[in-house]
A and B are shown apart, each in its own frame.
Chain A
């Protein structure tokens, strides 16, 4: 393990990869700041750029983008009450009131310190937890992987559905169905291509992600008649105020950071939960344990109320890498996009990654820490300047997002068909999003489809055509019970809502 870590440190600390983290954090901050464009869109836009890179550098860049996007989302939450990312909605509860009191600089500093601390503590947890989990998961067989993927799909559907579990399940089924287009991995038989040569190799993952997130988001801005001439008031250095934090405020923050980083990390590890749930939970948790006097401050510019979600969302981002790196199962929609990117590089995340590619495994973990340092050291002083990006009117932003999406897909295949197909998928996903069909389950279904089929096929063939592995293997049985419990919980919640 020590040897692997050293290789990882070497890889992560190479000048090139440090540059990647810095670029990633910077690009992520800018994109994450723009309302509507979250880490998924940011990472999707980065995928085509990383095609010439080696997998470690690409992953390091994407991890930087992920962190940067979350940090950027906090900035727009605090400054203009327009969270760029769902995971930073709860940061606006106390961050924006602080801004209104003329303490925007302080709020941004609290957010940066809390994010840094949360990310650091979670990176230490990851350092310890990931290898242990990777060792345990080496005992997993195809049947267990199949069961685990079912749990992942159901939990993403449950958490992403916002109470509409069935719609999320339709999206999961649609994603799985789309993953079957093209050649079957074992027999090479072409399926669902309808004689179209462009579909013989299957649907491009980048195309689907760009269409469902970046492009449909751009369409959505126009579609919802958002004020396209919207400009935030000029965010100048003078209006931000001081970024200094007093000793009393530090004292107030420290216990909150300690508690919520642990909470955030473990919520992040759970498949499907992620930064949004972690940040809301952390804010609610801190409020519930606060004294009656402190409770009154929550929602009006409380230091604890801002530090809690900021710590938790960064810790959850790190936590969500645990299932991705050790089991090959993404813990969130964003890590699902990263999984797709890794697969396109020919890297199969999972327990073997820790053994076979320690440089990638450890470099990603180490680079997360570097990312936190970069955000603190570079981004915080630059915030007054970076924040000017918020002044870009949406009628400039939308065509640029469309252009980057189209170019990103075109550069991979140089095929006009992909542009037409992408535009159609983006339009359809816009309609589906308006009807409250969530997109993350579709992406996860699409990415896991191939692996799900491979593992199910292996499990069935090993069991002589029988599905008895479901109850014969204890790990599979436990995981299937969890899957059933997730479904039952959704049914119960649905019935409860109906009664109310």
Chain B
């Protein structure tokens, strides 16, 4: 049996469903519901059985092929992931407008856009238009300390 990525993933899923099954058994139910025919534990238990069976079958029956994962651009994706994460961190503190523009500009630059015209036209007007649509047309309030400071929004 060759150890390949499919088998590794199936094994991880098997562990996940085993843990899920254990946790399903630990769900606290009301005392009168403890021996009921169907309580809050029943459905998760059934799902865990399905998950365990299919992951086990995948583990055993998958083909003995080596999969190559080396040809992918892992680093760029992780950088973008980190950027999204930072965007999430900043959106509350410095506000929607600045954080979104920062996110877009850094992403464009990282992905190789070098034209400042393109960078500016694909960030500020897009964000401003969306924010205007949300605030002005749809009445959706987004907290934005920077624009409040500038007096653009109340």
Which 3 A/B pairs are nearest by Cβ-Cβ distance? A465-B37, A419-B88, A399-B107
Given contacts A222-B111, A406-B88, A423-B81, contact A411 B103 (CB under 8 A): no
Residues of A within 8 A of B85 (CB): 419-420, 423
Contact A419 B91 (CB under 8 A): yes
B9 to chain A, nearest CB (A): 5
Task: Flag if B112 contacts A176 (CB, 8 Å).
Answer: no
Partner of B122 from the list A177, A224, A400, A411 (CB cut-off 8 Å) is A400
Q: Separation in Å of the A171 CB from the closest CB of chain B?
A: 9
**Once the chains bind, are B50 and A407 in contact (CB under 8 Å)?**
no
- Is there a chain B Cβ closer than 8 Å to A492's Cβ? no
**Among the listed B33, B48, B67, B92, which residue makes an inter-chain contact with A416, where contact means beta carbons less than 8 Å apart?**
B92
Instruction: Report A-chain residues with C-beta under 8 Å of the C-beta of B122.
Output: 396, 400
How many Å lie between the Cα of A456 and that of B42 in the bound state? 10
Given contacts A398-B111, A419-B84, contact A223 B77 (CB under 8 A): yes
Rounded to whole angstroms, the CA-CA distance of A414 and B140 in the bound complex is 11
Contact-size category for B: 35 or more
Write out the residue numbers on chain B whose beta carbons fall within 8 Å of the beta carbon of A186.
40
Knowing A166-B54, A228-B111, A423-B85, say if A461 contacts B43 (CB, 8 Å).
no
Evaluate contact between B40 and A184: CB separation under 8 angstroms: yes
Contacts of A219 in B (CB 8 A): 77, 80-81
Across-interface contacts of B33 in A (CB, < 8 A): 187
Q: Does B126 contact A (CB under 8 A)?
A: yes
- Do B58 and A403 touch across chains, with their CB atoms under 8 A apart? no
Closest beta carbon of chain B to A165's beta carbon, Å: 9
> Quick check: is A192 within 8 A (CB to CB) of the other chain?
yes
What are the residues of chain A within 8 A of B107 when measuring CB–CB?
Answer: 398-399, 402
The interface of chain B, by Cβ under 8 A from chain A, is 5-6, 9-10, 13, 16-17, 20, 23-24, 27-30, 33, 37-40, 42-44, 46-48, 50-51, 54-55, 57-58, 61-62, 67, 69, 71-74, 76-77, 80-81, 83-85, 87-89, 91-92, 100, 103-104, 107-108, 111-113, 118, 122, 126, 130, 134, 138-140, 142-143
Asked whether, in the complex, the Cβ of A52 is within 8 Å of the Cβ of B138, the reply is yes
> Of the candidates A223, A419, A426, which one forms a contact with B73 in the assembled complex, judged by CB atoms under 8 Å apart?
A223
Whole-angstrom CA separation of A465 from B44 in the bound complex? 17
Is A403's CB under 8 angstroms from B103's CB? yes
Q: Do the beta carbons of A423 and B88 come within 8 Å of each other?
A: yes
Cα A455 to Cα B122 with chains together (Å): 48
Interface 0/1 of A393-428, CB less than 8 Å to B? 101101110110011001100101001101100110
- Please tell me if A225 contacts chain B, counting CB pairs below 8 Å: yes
- Tell me if A434 and B58 are in contact (CB < 8 A): no
B-chain residues with CB within 8 Å of residue A222 when the two chains form the complex: 73, 76-77, 80, 111
Residues of A within 8 A of B81 (CB): 219, 423, 426-427
* Whole-angstrom CA separation of A453 from B27 in the bound complex: 16
Main secondary structure of the interface of B (DSSP, over half): helix
Minimal beta-carbon separation of A314 from chain B (angstroms): 30
Check if B37 sits within 8 Å of A460, measured CB to CB: yes
A-B contact pairs, 5 of them (CB 8 A): A170-B10, A393-B113, A402-B107, A419-B85, A427-B81
A-B contacts at CB below 8 angstroms, number: 168
How many A residues have CB within 8 A of the partner chain? Answer: 61
Q: In whole angstroms, what is the CA distance A315 to B118 when docked? A: 40
Not counting A177-B44, A400-B104, A456-B46, a sample of 12 additional A-B residue pairs whose C-beta atoms are within 8 angstroms of each other reads A166-B57, A167-B6, A173-B17, A228-B112, A395-B108, A396-B113, A399-B103, A403-B104, A416-B88, A416-B91, A435-B6, A452-B43
A interface residues, Cβ below 8 angstroms from B:
52, 166-167, 169-170, 172-174, 176-177, 180, 184, 186-187, 189, 191-192, 215, 218-219, 222-225, 228-229, 393, 395-396, 398-400, 402-403, 406-407, 410-411, 414, 416, 419-420, 422-423, 426-427, 430, 432, 434-437, 452-453, 456-457, 460-461, 464-465, 494
Rounded to whole angstroms, the CA-CA distance of A52 and B57 in the bound complex is 45
Complex CA distance for A411 and B139, rounded to whole angstroms: 12
**Residue numbers in A under 8 Å from B142 (CB-CB):** 411, 414
Chain A residues in 8 Å Cβ range of B113: 393, 395-396
Q: Is the CB of A223 within 8 A of B58?
A: no
Contacts of B73 in A (CB 8 A): 222-225
**Interface pair A187/B74, CB less than 8 Å apart:** no
What distance in Å separates the Cβ of A100 from its nearest Cβ neighbour in chain B? 30
